[in-house]
A and B are shown apart, each in its own frame.
Chain A
Amino acid sequence: MKTTVSILFLLSFSLVAKSQISLQKPKNNLSLSVGYNVGLLKDENFSPLNYSENGLTYSIDYLRLNPEKNQLFKVQVDFMSNDLITDASSDFISKLISGNLSFDYQRKLTNSKENFNLYLGGGYQSNINYINYNDQDAFSYFMSHGLNLSATAFLNISEKSHFESTIHIPLFEMVVQPPYAGNDEILEENQEKPFSLITNGEFTSLNTYFALFWTASWVHHVSDKIQLRAEYKFQYQKASTTHLFIQNQNQLCAGATYMF
């Protein structure tokens, strides 16, 4: 509920503000943000039960805008370590560790240098989730690596602030999950070879894996070099490959951007 109120508050800014400036930005933006995740998870390899996710999330991203060539390049790294909680028992509290790495290249579709700019392109994204109960008495993981369609929109809402929104839709993905039995000789043999494990997956179609990653940011311009950010991130993944996996995350984050 808190997240809902907060994001509506943020969005209200974008509704009432009138844009006055064009989006002429410095080329490089380095952002750091910290937030709180409230999510839901079901991983049938791990458990038949429904779980909720709660905990802090951290993000760092680098954005390079090239107004002359109408290009955008972005690298983003997210990390979180959350508790997984189920109604069945307080003893079942588990740990969810997630990481996300994405590279995006997009080109500007709009010609104007005024209020609204839209970029469209694609990129690569790796999303990793590892679940651990009671020092690996039970464990599971879900990873997706692949190419996605991405778009970013910038909307100036005042001289001192603008609104950003980014969306990623994975298209060609390799999904990595534990084997049918949850474990096997290959997994045990490669426990100390993480690269082998995180790439031991199968390619999927949209029928067996669907995901959506959406970020909405309100950005306040403190100075020519510094911006403050308030963000809402929505993530949804559903895979029905080896095991059913569904995850939904809602994150509210605050951060700062250094421009150079």
Chain B
Amino acid sequence: MTDHPSSAISCPQCGSPFDFHEGSRNAQCSSCGTSLAITGESGIGRFYIEPRVDLNQARSTIRKTLAEKEGDKRHISTLRFEKGELCFLPFWSLCAHATGWFWTERETVVREEDVDANGMRIVREVRGPNQRNFEAVAFEMRYSSPACDLAHFGLTGIATASSVLPLKVMNFDGLSQRGTLIDPVKGIDQVRGEALAQARNRASGNRTLRQEGKLNLIGSRMALISYPVWDLTFAAKDRMHHVTVDGVNGRPLKGRFPATYGIRLAAPMITVAALVFAFSLGQIAGVAAAAAFSAYLWNSGELSLPRIAKHLFQLVSRGKEVSLG
């Protein structure tokens, strides 16, 4: 699974700490050389990834993101953070060999050549006989899936992170003091089912009319990995905004940022002044100016009384909120 050793636990023979990899069944004590079998609850090891971003860095990430996005830049310096909580989100990690078979029925296309009345050769493609195919498959698969509903946090998988970042053996007491430890809800069978479904999807191809198959996961090794995410709340104007930040790389994951506000005086004043000036020149000029104004509104979307009122009397413009995730 991962090439980085997880954090040490003690050898039962000599008491020395030793390192091992997530997904390993066995390890060797570097001090006394004893071969050791690694077991977890129901054969599942629990690990966590150490956060690399602290609360202040997470907050500055939000400010930076707001500055880069089309948010309200005037409020960046006055953002008032209400709370920040470090959450450890549970993810299943599965490594196995998927083996089984697929039977597929595909439609085929054949090229038919013909000669028309003018002696010209015509090539056309017509549907040929259906083609049946059997394939015995065996491939290695790695699968990562949230162990509960994490839609609120905007993080869907950590397959890459768990394979490159060093993992540490779960420390429930220590992590509970640092943040909120979210419990897994999804069971082993559900994760295996999801992994099998993903493996089945690999076989689908173009022009497939029907597909049947049977897959098994063999030699599977599973682990539960807790991943750190900052859950932040900040107030901007009179509204509370919620955002989550990746606790390892500081990337904003999900959130909504305040919209931009602006005072628009020029457009209504120019319109009114132009109309008044045109009518002062003469009735024909006034009607022409009004027609030009109507044509402008028509071209820009809609010509209606509310639209005219909005153009003339809406003095505050509000941009769109910026959403992530």
Does B bind A? no
Residues in chain A within 8 A of chain B (CB atoms) = none
